[in-house]
Amino acid sequence: MDDFRFSPRSNRAAEIRWQAWSEEAFAKASAEDKPILLSISAVWCHWCHEMDEASYSDQEVIDLVNERFVPIRVDSDRNPDINSRYNQGGWPSTVFLSPDAAVLAGTTYVPPAGMRSILVRVSNLWKEHKVTINVPEEDLLLTKVIEEGPEPDIVTDIGYAILRAWDRDYGGLGDAPKFPQAESIALALELYMDGYGEDFLSFARSTLEGMLRGGLMDEGEGGFFRYSTTRDWTLPHYEKMLSDNVALLSVLLRAYKTMGFPLLREAAIKTAEYIKKTLSDGQSRFYGSQDADEAYYNALPEERLRMKSPAVDKTVYTDWAAQAAIVFIQTGALLDNREYTDIGMRALDFLWSESFREAGGMAHYNIGLPKRFGLLDDQVSTALAFMQAYGLTGNKDYFEHAQELMRIIREDYWDETNGELLDTAAPSTLPGLKPDSAEPTSQARGAEAMLHFWVLTGDETWHEMAKRILTGWKTESQSYGILAAPLARAINFFVKGPLLIRLLSPSPKEAGDFLEVALLSPLPRLLPELKLDETGQARAEICDMQSCTLSTSDTKAMAEELNVRHELFEGVKRS
């Protein structure tokens, strides 16, 4: 049996003859003329555990599944490509497929009685009618339209969609359930700094304060829970994800630089400490998630000491770990904490030495051995992390690693015909799937990586590729939702360009004061780039892609120039 992961509590789910997503499973379904039951689960998911303990432990359900279906079980975190195509709007996802992988029907959690009824109905319908329900492409969040260039108005359209969805009483977006939406907060802070008004700052402040004071952060041990089941953030769903905590750590630091509130700095430190102590080994491995346990998290601190801590999934997921590594490097530099910086750099070294292979690039996850090569997001996240780490350290190895990954992205994931990125590399695509257009967030991050590589190399090819991606994903503004914030940020980067802080120094240590000034600036799209130069004293240049406005060996002069630029933003907002 494959490495299936069930609820940690007592259950009989393993009595179902689960198979991995494989050619053999689909061949079996075809040969036996049976539909497929696809269960998409996650180790941190409360309702996945409930379904294992209830529905998948029910004797009649076990018998029906084993007799009438070919059951396939997929771990959402380890197989994001399958999850992105078949998830039914939450976890667990319960999906019925034909032997050629077409969706027949799907839902999320199903209790035992309902599951018995659905299994009988789907089985009978398959025998009688071979029913197939196709999901039209028009249901995608964004419509693909090729036009002449990415429009700046799209950025503000998405920004104002965020303000329209803003809950002004409790912060955040919409009603319950309420998710943190770190990318929306980051976009709002950018738009505020770009002069679009105080409302964007107020949204970011009220949302972060609402989460911190309402209960989305674990007061006892730190770290953010995945979402709140209530509008006022007071009743969280208790799993903690590395991806969420890293994104919120990043946005807390950005908000602290913008607003200067000690509450935000303290929350950032508490989040970093939680990640270090619980979602990492404290050395070089960042872990995927910590399980939900309502009784544990509702217990008093002294009671928790007598209880077993919720389980941690110690899988190293490459895309999340790469993001965690660079945020830790940035956090260490910003907060003058060398331990965070060292953990981040060792994490990048671990990913390269343990999860990279020349034939496939970055693996998706590592459980002692690298697994699941050929997914776009792992290549993009790791390339971006290496580029950013190179900018902060001047380590040429990081640049070379990024260069190799960008080559792989262009050769294996770039669709020249349609001017976009594919979610998988053809040689690594799973049976029943084929490379498909990557989701909007992945396209946006891919474009961001291309723009960053263009900045470092000056190679216009990457700028043109990013332009084609960002030009392609646009339609009328009402078709864009708050989930398109990463796309808006990538377009903003393309349209406005970076603010480059070029640092030349005999060593990273001698450039430390310049780096601190750069990282403390709240200016958006600021990219430090440290180049080691043994010929003279440390100095800084402030530039755009056409020219430089300052070259100085004085950190005070650099800080004053950045402050002037900050004041210019303030002047725009007052006008």
CB atoms within 10 A of CB 226: 22
What does 486-543 look like in DSSP terms, one character per residue? HHHHHHHHHHH--EEEEEEESSTTTTHHHHHHHHH---TTEEEEEEE-TTS--EEEEE
Q: Which residue has the tokens 């470092």?
A: 456
Answer yes or no: is pLDDT of 145 > 50: no
The conformation of residue 429, written as its DSSP 8-state character, comes to P
What does 433-473 look like in DSSP terms, one character per residue? ----BPPHHHHHHHHHHHHHHHHHH--HHHHHHHHHHHHHS
pLDDT at 142: 32
C-alpha R_g of the chain: 24
Angstrom CA distances, 279 to 63, 273, 340, 405, 481, stand at 38, 9, 13, 26, 31
Which carries the bigger pLDDT value, residue 299 or residue 433? 299
pLDDT band at residue 569 using 50, 70 and 90 as cut-offs: low
Q: Are 56 and 62 in contact (CB under 8 A)?
A: yes
Taking the CA atoms of 516, 278, 401 and 395 in sequence, report the sign of the dihedral they define.
positive
Q: Considering only CA atoms, which of 367, 425, 395, 370 is closest in space to residue 505?
A: 395
Which helix (H) or strand (E) segment holds residue 31: the answer is helix 23-32
Q: Considering only CA atoms, which of 479, 462, 458, 268 is closest in space to residue 383?
A: 462
Q: Are 155 and 485 in contact (CB under 8 A)?
A: no
Domain 13-135 carries which CATH code?
A: 3.40.30.10
- CA dist., res. 353 & res. 318, Å (int): 12
| Token pair belonging to 199 | 């409302």
* Segment 534-538 mean pLDDT: 82
Answer yes or no: is pLDDT of 132 > 50: no
Q: Considering only CA atoms, which of 401, 514, 402 is closest in space to residue 452?
A: 402
What does 53-107 look like in DSSP terms, one character per residue? HTGGG-HHHHHHHHHH-EEEEEETTT-HHHHHHH--SSSSEEEEE-TTS-EEEEE
* Segment 91-115 mean pLDDT: 91
For the chain, give the percent of residues with pLDDT over 90.
77
pLDDT band at residue 244 using 50, 70 and 90 as cut-offs: very high
Condensed to tens digits (0 to 9), the pLDDT of residues 317-326 reads 999 999 999 9
Answer yes or no: is pLDDT of 133 > 50: no
pLDDT at 393: 93
Q: Which residue has the tokens 């970093």?
A: 272
- CA dist., res. 440 & res. 473, Å (int): 8
Answer yes or no: is pLDDT of 422 > 60: yes
Domain boundaries, the chain: 13-135, 502-574
- CA dist., res. 389 & res. 402, Å (int): 10
Answer yes or no: is pLDDT of 341 > 60: yes
pLDDT band at residue 89 using 50, 70 and 90 as cut-offs: confident
pLDDT at 567: 67
CB atoms within 10 A of CB 70: 25
Angstrom CA distances, 302 to 213, 295, 296, 305, stand at 22, 13, 11, 5
pLDDT at 474: 61
pLDDT at 139: 29
pLDDT band at residue 572 using 50, 70 and 90 as cut-offs: very low
What does 127-161 look like in DSSP terms, one character per residue? HHH----PPPGGGSSS-----SS--HHHHHHHHHH
Condensed to tens digits (0 to 9), the pLDDT of residues 193-221 reads 998 999 999 999 999 999 999 999 999 99
Residue 478's SS3 state is helix
Residue 252's SS3 state is helix
* Segment 285-302 mean pLDDT: 95
Task: Return the minimum-mean-pLDDT range out of 173-182, 256-265, 478-487.
Answer: 478-487
- CA dist., res. 50 & res. 48, Å (int): 5
* Segment 327-343 mean pLDDT: 95
Highest mean pLDDT range out of 1-15, 276-290, 433-447, 515-529?
276-290
pLDDT band at residue 550 using 50, 70 and 90 as cut-offs: confident
- CA dist., res. 494 & res. 471, Å (int): 10
Condensed to tens digits (0 to 9), the pLDDT of residues 23-78 reads 999 999 999 999 999 999 999 988 899 999 999 999 999 999 999 999 999 999 99
Which carries the bigger pLDDT value, residue 40 or residue 142? 40
Answer yes or no: is pLDDT of 1 > 50: no
Condensed to tens digits (0 to 9), the pLDDT of residues 388-409 reads 999 999 999 999 999 999 999 9
